[in-house]
Structure 1
Amino acid sequence: MSQPMFNFDVRGLVGAQQQLQLLALSAAQRRRLLNTAAKRLRTSNRQRIRAQRNLDGTAYAPRNGGSKRKLLSGLGKNLQVVSVSSESAVLGWKSRVTSRIADEHQAGKTETMTPARLRRQNKAPDYAAPATREQAKGLLKAGYQVRSGKNGKRRKRPALGWIVEHLKSGQAGLILAQLQGKTPKRHSWNVVLPARAVLGASAQDVRQVLSTVLQQTLNAPR
């Protein structure tokens, strides 16, 4: 899996005159220039993450479950200049684990989850907890009914709130698996991680940053 890094090279990103101006600089000056430009792009990416926006300006896909807590804030905080030379600079994360997480968010992914896998990840569900609204919706969609009437001979569709109040999570999961004709031990579901832009910039933005920093370097006192 590729690590999400942002690499920009001086060559091809500035005009002919600016290339000549860059060539007139020493290797150390070009390195400082690119380091400054990379840090400015890091700042713009952090600002975009705080605004919860993709590169095209669209909002990040919301969290599952409706939580309003901001996404990717840790990735933005740890974004740094990974390497810099007289010709290129790289933004990314030095930690391989963090890079992998960022890559998964950048591209989006779908993985299959099972109860056994949840247990291995120390995230085993609390089967004694009340059934969730999602489970209740699934049961009703699958045709779940309860006995009613004086002798319990009739059956009716219960209210969503009734299921949450009267069924435990483990019961709801077992009933749902039976209604769907699934073997509980093999029950699995897909977890979808939507694509959310963690890192990037348009070529125009990169050229603008480079041009600005170049002029500041040329105009700086010698």
Structure 2
Amino acid sequence: MTAPPLDFDIRGLLNAQEKLQLLALPASKRRRLLNNASKRLRTPNRKRIRDQRNVDGSAYAPRKARRKRKMLSGLGKGLQVTRLSADQAVLGWQNRLVSRIAAEHQHGQTETMTLARLRRLGKSPDYGMPATRQQARALLKAGYQIRNGKRWKRPAPRWIVENLKSGQAGLILAQLEGHTKKQSWKIALPARDVLGATADQVREILSTVLQQTLNAPR
């Protein structure tokens, strides 16, 4: 899946005089105009991502898991002009993985997450950390016991947290529940406007940048 395009026919957003002025510009100035206009469009898109808002001002659809950290927080920083010519400018991301994540959220697709992908994103769990209380509860619910001399007993949640690592607890739980650890899983993503702008926003930016380009000494 490719990155969500910010696609406008700029000629349709200019008045008749501005169209003639645009057509009269040499290729170097048209290139400069598109570059400056794209960078100006980048600013409100970065702000929207920080504010967790769609183009129409509505809030992003929340995560299923209640986390305080903002969604897509790293995408705005990497947003840049990725391709530029006298006739076209593309606003997006150079990193293919980031670009794909943006597209999945933009279109509300089902995302396939893998352990390898989590590691590349720097989000893989630290299996050397102590087991969590959530893991302890899950283990006890699955029937986890420890040896006490010749007998077996149900440990306290505190014992699990203090004596098992997160990775160990995960493996034991998988064995008790009779399944292997998932290597990939599906995440349903609601549509969120990662990249976009209204026609009025684009029109205003284009008109301003066009006049600046026409009045520039070179």
Task: State the TM-score bracket (shorter-chain normalisation).
Answer: 0.5 to 0.7
Equivalent pair of 1:7/1:88 in contact (CA under 8 Å) = no
Please give the alpha-carbon distance, in whole angstroms, between the structure 2 residues aligned to 1:112 and 1:83. Answer: 28
Aligned to 1:84: 84
**Aligned residue type for 1:130:** P
**What secondary structure sits across from 2:90 in the alignment?**
strand
2:105 is equivalent to residue 110 of structure 1 = no
Equivalent pair of 2:135/2:169 in contact (CA under 8 Å) = yes
Identity rate, percent: 50
**Aligned residue type for 1:41:** L
2:171 is equivalent to residue 177 of structure 1 = no
Aligned pairs, number: 205
**Aligned residue type for 1:10:** I
Please give the alpha-carbon distance, in whole angstroms, between the structure 1 residues aligned to 2:127 and 2:86. Answer: 58
Please give the alpha-carbon distance, in whole angstroms, between the structure 2 residues aligned to 1:167 and 1:212. Answer: 62
- 1:119-161 C-alpha deviation (Å, 9 max, x unpaired): x979986655421244235446x554669xxxx89969x65x5
Alignment RMSD (CA, Å) = 4.3
**Aligned residue type for 2:112:** E
Query: Are residues 99 and 155 of structure 1, via their aligned partners in 2, closer, same or farther at CA, if it must alter by over 3 Å?
Result: closer
Alignment of 1:1-222 (within 5 A): 1-57=1-57, 58-59=59-60, 61=62, 66=67, 68=69, 71-73=72-74, 75-93=75-93, 95=94, 98-108=95-105, 109-111=110-112, 113=114, 129-139=129-139, 142-144=141-143, 163-182=160-179, 186-188=180-182, 190=185, 192=187, 194=189, 197-217=193-213, 220=215
| Deviation (angstroms), 1:47 | 2.7
| Deviation (angstroms), 1:40 | 0.5
Please give the alpha-carbon distance, in whole angstroms, between the structure 2 residues aligned to 1:88 and 1:9. Answer: 10
**Aligned residue type for 2:104:** A
Please give the alpha-carbon distance, in whole angstroms, between the structure 2 residues aligned to 1:105 and 1:132. Answer: 32
Equivalent pair of 1:81/1:92 in contact (CA under 8 Å) = yes
Unaligned runs of 5+ in 2: none
- 1:49-103 C-alpha deviation (Å, 9 max, x unpaired): 3434443442475697946478443x4334322333343322123x3xx133222
Please give the alpha-carbon distance, in whole angstroms, between the structure 2 residues aligned to 1:221 and 1:105. Answer: 36
**What secondary structure sits across from 1:83 in the alignment?**
strand
Query: Are residues 128 and 44 of structure 1, via their aligned partners in 2, closer, same or farther at CA, if it must alter by over 3 Å?
Result: closer
Query: Are residues 55 and 134 of structure 1, via their aligned partners in 2, closer, same or farther at CA, if it must alter by over 3 Å?
Result: farther
Unaligned runs of 5+ in 1: none
- 1:185-208 C-alpha deviation (Å, 9 max, x unpaired): x32162648565443323332222
